[in-house]
Amino acid sequence: MIETIGYAAVVLVIYFIVKQSRSKMIANKDEKIINAIKAKSGEGFKMNDETLMRLAGRLGGRLSVKDVITQTTLSENQAKEKLENLLKQGKCEIKLDEVENTGVIYYYFS
């Protein structure tokens, strides 16, 4: 009888440990999902000029609006606005002859 009670106690302890562990895993998974949603919506991370300039460096010193959209969580309008602000600040330039030839506006960073 004592062995049966001891066995039942061990089973209960294991059950509660597993249950608690699963609860933590679910909470971690929920947190990861929430963080992914925030990242997708742009919450929790602010795209600044320095980050865009580092992205340009990674992509050969130039960026297009499409590059920014595909590499960040910014929308097309947000990407255009950020790149235009960098242009106004003199942190990049546009080569007009290339725009005429390709139809794509590239912002060149030096």
Q: Could you state, in order of their start, the residue ranges of all structural domains in the chain?
A: 1-45, 49-108
Q: Where are the beta strands (DSSP E) in 1-110?
A: 62-63, 93-94, 107-108
* Predicted pLDDT of residue 32: 59
What is the pLDDT, as a whole number, of residue 37? Answer: 58
Return the pLDDT at 64: 94
- What is the block-wise mean pLDDT of the chain (110 residues), using blocks of 10 residues? 62 66 58 58 69 92 93 91 96 88 90
The per-residue pLDDT for 16 is: 62
One of 3.40.50.1370, 1.10.3470.10, 1.10.3130.10, 1.10.10.10 is the CATH number of 49-108, namely 1.10.10.10
- pLDDT of 42 reads 53
Task: Specify the pTM.
Answer: 0.58
What is the gyration radius of the CA atoms in the chain, in angstroms? 26
Name which of 49, 51, 61, 54 is nearest 93 in CA terms: 61
Res 11: pLDDT: 65
Q: What is the model's pLDDT at position 35?
A: 56
